Amino acid sequence: MLMATFLCPSCSRGFLSIESPICNKCGIMFKSREGEDHICGECIVSPRRFRIARASGVYDQTFMEVIHCLKYKGRVQLAGPLGMLLFSTLIRYWDMSSIDIIMPVPLHKKRLRKRGFNQSFLLIKDWEDIARSLNVEIPYIQGADYFFIRSVWTEPQTGLGRKKRMANIKNAFSIEDSSKVFDKRILLVDDVYTTGATVDECAKVLLRGGAKQVDVLTLARTM
């Protein structure tokens, strides 16, 4: 089992990795295990601004609990093994030459002060060391949210449907220096993809700022 490589047997129990067939665009895993990858109905009806999105595992059972321990209980020691799991997903789906910048989805400074960390950044902060140990070239990792920021405070997205999530997150992000993203191929990293409202809003702002393309990588994906 993939998860067992990165977490203990107790934490890895119940983990379900994302496997084909999936949506070519948003990466959702289809309930039917028959057939090939194809575009899902949601992506046809509501086209996404990002190019593709991929995730390591299904947001369910123990995997959800592990992510909650990191995100809400401050168990930052989980960021190491979870970051390694996410790195393996990066290598699985992307050619490193197709990305210029890797960046986490930013938190509003108010939430960052309250939580004490950006969980998405914790997942990628050791990637340069991991890549070096594997002799793998990796794109530039943007850690500080100094040019792409969450400028508007929003209520938590938890419990909201897709339309309410979209309304809640609308215009929440901004770019302070468009030259940093102009003509860049960006990989956005977040912890969980639920409806895709947050990462799609990020992609909209980055593309308007001149980014060439935006891809999305998350630790977990809802079914």
| pLDDT tens-digit series, residues 111-153 | 888 899 999 999 999 999 999 999 999 998 987 566 888 776 5
pTM metric for this prediction:
0.90
Q: What is the pLDDT at residue 160?
A: 53
Contact between 102 and 127 (Cβ < 8 Å):
yes
**pLDDT at residue 1 above 70?**
no
Topology of domain 2-221 in CATH is Rossmann fold (3.40.50)
Q: Give the pLDDT score at 8.
A: 73
DSSP conformational letter for 1: -
**Cα–Cα nearest to 92, from 128, 156, 136, 34:** 136
Q: Each residue of 22-65: pLDDT tens digit?
A: 999 999 999 888 889 999 999 999 999 999 999 999 998 888 99
Mean per-residue pLDDT for 157-177?
A: 70
- Reference 186, options 167, 170, 199; nearest CA is 199
Q: Residue 117 to residues 25, 112, 179, 211: CA-CA distances in angstroms? A: 30, 6, 26, 26
